[in-house]
Structure 1
Amino acid sequence: MDKTSKYVLFVMGVSGSGKSTIGKLLATALDYPFFDGDNFHPDYNIKKMASGKPLNDKDRYEWLLTLNELAKNHVAKGAVIACSALKESYRDLLQKNIDTKVHYIYLKGSFEEVLERLQERKGHYMPQELLQSQFEALSPPKNAIVVDIKEQPQKIVDTILIALEK
């Protein structure tokens, strides 16, 4: 990554893969602002997920457009945005009109690894019962920095930073 250029980095993966943890550390390392995409969901999406119902494409559409606007507003100074970005069509919306300034970091893990993390997590509206629906919707990105969630968070960030420099 050119030191003078700024990018919007979407840290993506299923719920529980570590998007917020890695995103915050990465943003600190790059001196970029961090935004957790979960904080931009409309109330009805949160209520739907909290009730154990998975979101569909229609539910996600406005949310993805909101995150695209957020990304466009931060292209000049850079940003790290944590967002599941499960499908290619979602990623197309996220990078609309800024695609050359976007990088995806895919936090890859198995169902079992992520389920174990979700079972330990407290205070999040996303119930672990919805994890299967996220894996079913997931279409791994073709052009992304892929990191294994088994590593320690700082090692994951170091791997991402090295990949961004290439």
Structure 2
Amino acid sequence: MSQTLDLSSAPAILFLFGLSGSGKSYVGNLIGELTGCYVYHADDDITDEMILALQEKRPFTNEMRDRYFPIITEKILHLRQHHNFLVVTQAVYKQRHREYLCKNIPNMEMIFIDASDAVISQRLTTRNGGITGASALALRRDFEQPDSNIKVILNEGDKSMLVTQLNNYFSSAQPEKD
């Protein structure tokens, strides 16, 4: 891939969210690989009660989520003190938690990573480790679609398609609009 990723007009923190299997971690890791930025996969810090819910193929409760998001907010703010540019990945299934993150973390933008149901299903069945298809299905029922003003990255192509979409949003060399 010879295309350059230009995030020169991006905020200090990009927060990638979406359904399990949409490719949040993949896109985050790609950004990290191409820019050298720090990538924080917030799933690494899910609580013990959330781990148990996943093992039992139960969705997270609102109370579980309410206890979790302050934890990762503090972690993100701490990481931001040590990194100029940060990418965070986490599903954030509820709109009120997206709003909480935006309210409590300055200079951050949420980006919805999307893929078709067929692509997501295929990814979940071929995954080694991580969330199971059954757990993802249980959680999917809880997902609230993002507001229409949220940037969307469609993750169904190759790396160059992802870079093109990111550059369209964040390159300082934006094409002039008619």
TM norm structure 1: 0.85
Offset of residue 89 of structure 1: 0.5
Does residue 85 of structure 2 align to residue 78 of structure 1? yes
2:33 — aligned with what? 28
Cα contact 1:52–1:129 (8 A) shared by 2: yes
CA distance in 1, matches of 2:10, 2:140: 33
Relative to structure 1, the CA distance from residue 55 to residue 7 in structure 2 (aligned partners, 3 Å threshold; closer, same or farther) is: same
User: What aligned pairs does 1:97-136 form with structure 2 within 5 A after superposition?
Assistant: 97-99=104-106, 101-124=107-130, 126-136=131-141
Q: Please, which runs of 5 or more residues in structure 1 have no aligned partner?
A: none
Partner amino acid, structure 2, of 1:106:
F
Point out the more displaced range, 66-75 or 105-114: 66-75
Cα contact 1:111–1:135 (8 A) shared by 2: no
Number of equivalent positions: 164
Deviations 1:63-116 (A, max 9, x none): 2112211222344622101010122101012223335x1112211123222111
Deviations 1:121-165 (A, max 9, x none): 0111x2211223333222222232212121123421331133123
1:66 — aligned with what? 71
Over alpha carbons, which structure has the higher Rg? Answer: 2
CA distance in 2, matches of 1:2, 1:25: 13
2:153 — aligned with what? 147
Cα contact 1:20–1:82 (8 A) shared by 2: yes
CA distance in 2, matches of 1:154, 1:6: 22
TM norm structure 2: 0.80
Q: Please, which runs of 5 or more residues in structure 2 have no aligned partner?
A: 1-5
CA distance in 2, matches of 1:25, 1:123: 20
Runs of 4+ with deviation above 3 angstroms:
1-6
Percent same amino acid at aligned positions?
21
CA distance in 2, matches of 1:32, 1:78: 6
RMSD between aligned alpha carbons? 2.3
Partner amino acid, structure 2, of 1:94:
L
CA distance in 1, matches of 2:102, 2:40: 15
Partner amino acid, structure 1, of 2:17:
M
